[in-house]
């Protein structure tokens, strides 16, 4: 990642005001306009990959497929492929769920609408060169994902898959017309989503706004990758995980409550020439300008626990072939786009790569005032190879965090030399730091927004925020 001074905003697409009660790729263009007017160069969005049944953006059933919940149906209404009268036809109970921003309902209704688009326009779209290009360029994941969905839509866990369904080779040999038709629909939906997202991406690029997205390093235990590429993971023939990857911090928690992340079989990935790594990160590089890995603390080591017992006594650590992985990322020109919150590498080769390619480590201001905080976490002590956050998707709003303990208040008072400090005092310190990238969460800038906010009208709050941010930009660019 380059060390140009760039500021940005953490703003999920999902909370942008929309007639569909969940932000779409079209709604997101208003956010790009706001960022541009406010002099912001980076837009940090939530993971947008296909969410699993829990509908949590950090858990996906594919590391490649985009989620239909972000689809802009207005495009198809304007094309005459849908009418407003035939979509989101809800009874009284469903209407209440819709008004409450129920993701499951919103996603299901959008998929119904996309099925109508498929029936009415599939033949026309497939004649276009752009459609065939999409199919050909993404065949390494698209076909497998589409077939996986023909089973997953009916059976949400691998335990329910039949012997024929659990084995992709056997399943492919027994495809009937119904399965083939559903697979075509799934491919078609991904084309429409990819097309809409690229329109947003290019719009942002034209205005000088870069998109930063969180993506998982590990695959979810129920995913198209686990089904189609089982040799890449530590699973048995029935796709039952042998081990789960965990974070160091999770060792003190109830392991049965953690997200179920599959452990990679790096021996097989290496045997396969690291094709999976090349495909995955080349794909991300097309979608995003910056890629933050959200579920990894240590590049060099995988901490894992026995999946059957989930017993603390079974926790062990495997060394990752990180030098080889970084070499692959360099070969495909992606290494300087990828970063994570923690960089713990003792390898001299990796330290050299990190230095030569300016790989950035992200830090959060909230970490600076912890009792055991490293002095390097303080704003004026961070170096330029740092991406600095006010708060994160999984952390408290800055105001709540800064007022969480009397000891913390004393440390902040001492640092800011202000008795009655507020969010803006801390944010000002961040902009005064040496960090080349500073990203402020929307909820830390606006008292009208918090992490439980379901809907934000960016037009209503933009004028005030633009004025504040422009003042900071004068200081930041010095």
pLDDT grade for 371, boundaries at 50, 70 and 90: low
Mean pLDDT of all residues in 93-120 = 94
Query: What is the pLDDT, as a whole number, of residue 353?
Result: 67
pLDDT of residue 117 exceeding 80, the answer is yes
More confident residue, 352 or 236: 236
Mean pLDDT of all residues in 376-381 = 68
pLDDT grade for 160, boundaries at 50, 70 and 90: very high
Do 368 and 395 touch, CB atoms closer than 8 A?
no
Query: What is the pLDDT, as a whole number, of residue 131?
Result: 94
Q: 218-232, 283-297, 388-402: which has the minimum mean pLDDT?
A: 388-402
Query: What is the pLDDT, as a whole number, of residue 3?
Result: 62
Instruction: Return d(Cα 472, Cα 48) in angstroms, integer.
Output: 30
Query: What is the pLDDT, as a whole number, of residue 34?
Result: 96
Q: 105-114, 239-248, 316-325, 375-384: which has the minimum mean pLDDT?
A: 375-384
Angstrom CA distances, 362 to 91, 292, 406, stand at 46, 9, 27
Mean pLDDT of all residues in 281-285 = 95
Q: 73-77, 349-353, 413-417: which has the minimum mean pLDDT?
A: 349-353
Mean pLDDT of all residues in 53-71 = 87
Mean pLDDT of all residues in 224-250 = 92
Pairing assessment for the beta strands 243-246 and 361-364 based on DSSP bridges = unpaired
Sequence-ordered list of residues with C-beta below 8 angstroms from that of 471, at least 6 positions apart, any chain: none
Closest CA to 218 of 132, 148, 304, 140: 304
Mean pLDDT of all residues in 22-46 = 96
Query: What is the pLDDT, as a whole number, of residue 203?
Result: 98
Please state the pTM of the whole predicted model. Answer: 0.93
Q: In what order do the strands lie in the sheet with 301-306?
A: 261-262, 243-246, 301-306, 316-319
Query: What is the pLDDT, as a whole number, of residue 375?
Result: 67
Sequence-ordered list of residues with C-beta below 8 angstroms from that of 417, at least 6 positions apart, any chain: none
Query: What is the pLDDT, as a whole number, of residue 426?
Result: 85
pLDDT tens-digit profile of 291-347?
Answer: 998 887 777 789 999 999 999 899 999 988 888 888 898 899 988 888 876 555 555
Query: What is the pLDDT, as a whole number, of residue 428?
Result: 85
Take residue 115 and report the two structure tokens written for it: 């099925």
pLDDT grade for 218, boundaries at 50, 70 and 90: very high
Q: How many CB atoms lie within 10 A of CB 21?
A: 20
């Amino acid at each position: 990642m380059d060390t140009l001074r760039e500021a940005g905003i953490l703003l999920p697409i999902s909370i942008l005001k929309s007639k569909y009660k969940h932000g779409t790729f079209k709604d997101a263009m208003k956010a790009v306009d706001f960022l541009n007017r406010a002099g912001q160069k980076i837009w940090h969005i939530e993971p947008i990959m296909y969410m699993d049944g829990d509908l949590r953006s950090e858990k996906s059933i594919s590391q490649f497929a985009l989620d239909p919940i972000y689809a802009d149906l207005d495009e198809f209404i304007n094309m005459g492929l849908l009418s407003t009268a035939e979509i989101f036809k809800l009874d009284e109970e469903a209407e209440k769920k819709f008004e409450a921003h129920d993701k499951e309902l919103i996603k299901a209704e959008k998929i119904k609408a996309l099925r109508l688009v498929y029936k009415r326009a599939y033949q026309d779209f497939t004649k276009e060169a752009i459609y065939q290009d999409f199919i050909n360029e993404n065949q390494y994941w698209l076909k497998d994902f589409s077939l996986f969905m023909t089973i997953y839509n009916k059976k949400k866990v691998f335990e329910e898959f039949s012997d024929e369904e659990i084995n992709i080779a056997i399943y492919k040999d027994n495809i009937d017309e119904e399965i083939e038709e559903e697979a075509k629909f799934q491919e078609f939906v991904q084309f429409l989503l990819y097309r809409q997202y690229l329109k947003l991406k290019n719009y942002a690029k034209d205005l000088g706004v870069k998109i930063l997205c969180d993506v998982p390093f590990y695959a979810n235990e129920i995913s198209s990758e686990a089904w189609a590429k089982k040799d890449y993971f530590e699973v048995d023939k029935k796709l039952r995980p042998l081990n789960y990857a965990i974070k160091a911090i999770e060792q003190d928690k109830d392991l049965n409550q953690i997200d179920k992340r599959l452990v990679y079989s790096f021996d097989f990935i290496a045997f396969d020439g690291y094709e999976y790594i090349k495909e995955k990160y080349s794909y991300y590089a097309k979608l995003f300008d910056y890629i933050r890995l959200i579920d990894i603390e240590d590049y060099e080591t995988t901490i894992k626990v026995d999946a059957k017992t989930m017993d603390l006594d079974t926790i062990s650590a495997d060394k990752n072939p990180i030098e080889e992985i970084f070499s692959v990322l360099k070969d495909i020109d992606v290494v300087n786009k990828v970063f994570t919150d923690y960089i713990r590498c003792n390898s001299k080769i990796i330290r050299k790569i990190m230095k030569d390619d300016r790989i950035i480590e992200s830090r959060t201001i909230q970490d600076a005032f912890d009792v055991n905080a490293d002095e390097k976490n303080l704003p004026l002590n961070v170096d330029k190879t740092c991406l600095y956050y006010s708060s994160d998707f999984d952390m408290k709003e800055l105001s709540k965090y800064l007022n969480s303990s009397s000891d913390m208040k004393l440390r902040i008072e001492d640092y800011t030399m202000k008795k009655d400090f507020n969010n803006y005092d801390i944010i000002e310190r961040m902009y005064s730091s040496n960090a080349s990238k500073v990203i402020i969460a929307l909820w830390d800038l606006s008292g009208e927004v918090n992490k439980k906010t379901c809907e934000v009208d960016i037009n209503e709050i933009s004028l005030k925020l633009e004025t504040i941010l422009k003042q900071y930009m004068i200081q930041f660019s010095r």
